Amino acid sequence: MKIILFFTLILAQMTAHALTTEVGLSYSFSKKNFNATNYYQSESKSASLSFYMFEKIALELSYTESFYENQENDVTSARVIQQSSTIAGSDLIFILTDQRSDFQPYIKGGAAYIHKKALIKYANANAYEIPTKDGIAPSYGVGLKFKLTERFSVRLGYDLWKTPMDDGTKTDDTAFKAGLNWYL
């Protein structure tokens, strides 16, 4: 959380120099039914705010909420697993082409604060919360932006977070995102 505050303070100092500001929104939903009582579904919402400090470099502040639910039923038991996470990130983006180009591949890197929650519910029993560990994790990403107009673009990206686990190890959390960006 301290790193996000640090980047926000730097941003406040540099806003007078920012040439372009970009707002991005993305959403995804998926549901798979195996039969009437067995399914899984996931949903993700993201928002980002990018400040271009130079022609090819931007500071991006982002927030993502995701939710996953899996219901499993067999002849003897039923259970529902629910997992949710929030990710607040700060990344530097480097555009590999000119900012005025219609096709803009980019790479990014930074840090994110990750909060996760997991719950297992069994039929006719109490729900169990799975212990998780919140923390700051490095983040990386690649993507493409396709300009639709001077103010709007479609953005496709792949993000990776090295998330801390309870046992001291780290796991890779990944996301493929598609959304719209608006240049202010």
Residue 139, amino acid: S
**List of domains in the chain:** 2-183 (2.40.160.20)
Instruction: Work out whether the CA dihedral 142, 146, 152, 156 comes out positive or negative.
Output: negative
**pLDDT tens, residue by residue, 53-110:** 888 899 999 999 999 999 998 888 889 999 999 999 999 999 999 878 899 999 999 9
Residue 3, pLDDT above cutoff 70: no
* Total number of residues shown for the chain: 184
**pLDDT tens, residue by residue, 120-166:** 998 878 888 988 888 899 999 999 999 999 899 999 999 999 887 77
3-state secondary structure of 3: helix
pLDDT at 165: 75
